[in-house]
Chains A and B, each alone.
Chain A
Amino acid sequence: DTAVSQTPKYLVTQMGNDKSIKCEQNLGHDTMYWYKQDSKKFLKIMFSYNNKELIINETVPNRFSPKSPDKAHLNLHINSLELGDSAVYFCASSQARQRGVQETQYFGPGTRLLVL
């Protein structure tokens, strides 16, 4: 009955490699997000997708490319990994804002990425 799931949970890789993180939600939400939590626990939005359309694209290197094949999935592909990409990446989902009501975002368990 997992609401928002991410795979893998842990990812250890070498600098320069390309890797992907997958996210799936079974809540029927139409908006999904990627957040990055750095080593100081600071959380920052990276991307937001609504109905497979990119809505928010914060200042993120072009090496990061989100892809949403359908409303229930939002994957994150990272090219040419760098040491500074080491972080915890969280996926989240929510319903779109309707009639001025901000819907709650539900988070996945996170993917801990370590670049060596």
Chain B
Amino acid sequence: AQSVAQPEDQVNVAEGNPLTVKCTYSVSGNPYLFWYVQYPNRGLQFLLKYITGDNLVKGSYGFEAEFNKSQTSFHLKKPSALVSDSALYFCAVTIGRGSNSGYALNFGKGTSLLVTP
């Protein structure tokens, strides 16, 4: 089964420091991986995705993620954290039914990021 794991429930980082939110995947075939962010009482906002090509994917709000096939990881990173980055972050992988229809997302449990001033 296609799945992702987020090993950390919470990540704390000081404003201005680099941040990393970890995600590992378990898939058969080529993985299609996503990161979403959820601010309190809001919906999910798309940050970035890896389909194929360059292992370093750049996304919204200065975030990027590195696809590492040997370590089966897709960690989310940002060089300099902002207090406003504090939110719940979800890694996800697509799961499908072998057709060209839209594929659903299988989400990790989420990692709460807290950036302190």
* Chain A residues within CB distance 8 Å of chain B: 4, 30-33, 35, 40-45, 48, 50, 55-56, 58, 90, 92, 94-98, 101-110
Contact = CB atoms under 8 A, between A and B. Distances in A.
A contact patch SS: strand
Contacts of B103: 48, 97, 102
A35 B36 CA distance: 14
Given A41-B110, A107-B44, A50 B104 contact: no
A42 to B, nearest CB: 6
Interface residues of B, number: 28
A94 B44 CA distance: 14
B3 to A, nearest CB: 12
Nearest to A41: B110
27 contacts: A31-B101, A33-B104, A42-B110, A43-B44, A43-B90, A45-B105, A45-B106, A48-B102, A50-B102, A55-B99, A55-B101, A56-B97, A56-B104, A58-B104, A92-B44, A95-B102, A96-B102, A97-B100, A97-B101, A97-B102, A101-B51, A103-B102, A106-B46, A107-B36, A107-B43, A107-B46, A109-B42
Interface of B: 32, 34, 36, 38, 42-46, 49, 51, 88, 90, 94-97, 99-107, 109-110
B37 to A, nearest CB: 11
A58 B42 CA distance: 24
Nearest to A97: B100
A90 B109 contact: no
A31 B107 contact: no
Given A41-B110, A48-B101, A104 B34 contact: yes
A104 B42 CA distance: 18
A104 B102 contact: no
Contact of A50 (B32, B44, B94, B101): B101
Contacts of B97: 55-56
Given A102-B49, A104-B34, A108-B43, A55 B102 contact: yes
